[in-house]
Amino acid sequence: MPLWVWVVFHLGVFAILAIDLGIFHREAHEVSVREAAGWTVTWVSLALLFNVAILHTLGSQAALEFLTGYLIEQALSIDNIFVFVLIFSYFSVPKRYQHRILFWGILGALVLRGTMIAGGTFLIQRFAWILYLFGAFLVFTGVRMAFAGEAAIEVEANPLIRLLRRFIPVTKRYHGQHFLVRAPVGRSRRWIATPLLVVLIMVETTDLVFAVDSIPAIFAVTTDPFLVYTSNVCAILGLRSLYFLLAGIVGQLRFLQLGLSVVLVFVGTKMLIADWHHISISASLGIVAGVLMASVAASLLFPEKAAERPPVRHDPLQPRRGPVETMTADPRVDDE
């Protein structure tokens, strides 16, 4: 793919993100379900328009590969939503600041995933057998996901959080939508981190962990780095609105995780048997879409009563054991 195509694609992405943050979300506010639905339709429509452009320039095969990769990535991103809900709940993040965290998280995800895709493409071009390793990993991950229990948030287990606390103090309360604030420390004033920065790091590392599953899955559909990357980006751009749309009901989709595990096992198996039996892209698209629709339909037809749990009461930045460098910022720093 010519360099100018990559440049135009990124300019379009950054322009859309600038409009999103600079106009529609310039002021922090709670995103309603109606607003999230509108943005979800917008992002999906933009992805489909881009797919039409691929159809007219690269042909129907490339368009099918992009669409299948986009659907797989969009489906696997729902797993991110489960964990985002847990993280925001654990840290009691005000709803009006959640969009800001996800926005900056997406910018980080673009860099991290782009690096991983470049590395994966490099390995595949030089070591074709790496696809079998990817396939075996996806099958293992899918089987493990099917039997996995409820995820838990372990803040102190995150090495980046430990590194952050080693070099900079962290406040015990939020200061509006700021990631860093200046506060008096001794006789001087210095920059200190707010819990919002801790949450951002948790979101970034969570996305990196899930990318280890989703990126090899798209390589099962196509090894064209442009299609792999753009399908990833288009799915990530819609992740924020999808979160606000599904956050309230994602816990009720009891069979969705099982459906995602089936998708991973199918994609991994497709990679493992590619030399003996070729599964067409159209068949793959139909199977992935069918499994996801079946898991959602089963969740709605056979709902499970949510277990009543006591509210979480804790200092979200207080470790379970051992000292930690935390402090309360200058109370003169306004929440807004």
Domain ranges of the chain: 3-149+209-302
Q: Where are the beta strands (DSSP E) in 54-94?
A: none
Look up the pTM and report it.
Answer: 0.77
Could you tell me which residues come within 8 angstroms of residue 309 by beta carbon, excluding any fewer than 6 positions away? none
pLDDT digit string (tens) for 132-147?
A: 888 898 898 888 888 8
Provide the percentage of residues in the chain whose pLDDT is more than 70: 85
Q: Please give the pLDDT value at position 11.
A: 92
Q: Please give the pLDDT value at position 187.
A: 65
Mean pLDDT of the chain: 80
Report the alpha-carbon angle 241-15-211, nearest 5.
50
Q: How confident is the model at residue 226 (pLDDT cuts 50, 70, 90)?
A: very high
Among 17-21, 51-55, 203-207, name the most confident range.
Answer: 51-55
Residue 16, pLDDT > 50, answer yes
User: Quick one: DSSP state of residue 23?
Assistant: I
Q: Please give the pLDDT value at position 81.
A: 82
Residue 76, pLDDT > 90, answer no
Query: For tokens 């009563």, what's the residue?
Result: 305
Q: Please give the pLDDT value at position 307.
A: 47
Q: Where are the beta strands (DSSP E) in 158-313?
A: 170-171, 180-185, 188-193
* Residue pair 43/241 in contact by the 8 Å Cβ criterion: yes
Residue 334, pLDDT > 70, answer no
- Report the alpha-carbon distance of residue 334 to residue 326 in Å, rounded: 19
Q: Is 170 helix (H, G, I), strand (E, B) or coil?
A: strand
Burial of 34 (0-12, 13-18, 19+ CB in 10 A): exposed
Q: Please give the pLDDT value at position 147.
A: 80
Q: Please give the pLDDT value at position 310.
A: 44
Q: How confident is the model at residue 327 (pLDDT cuts 50, 70, 90)?
A: very low
Q: Please give the pLDDT value at position 212.
A: 80
- Chain centroid, CA 143 distance in Å: 21
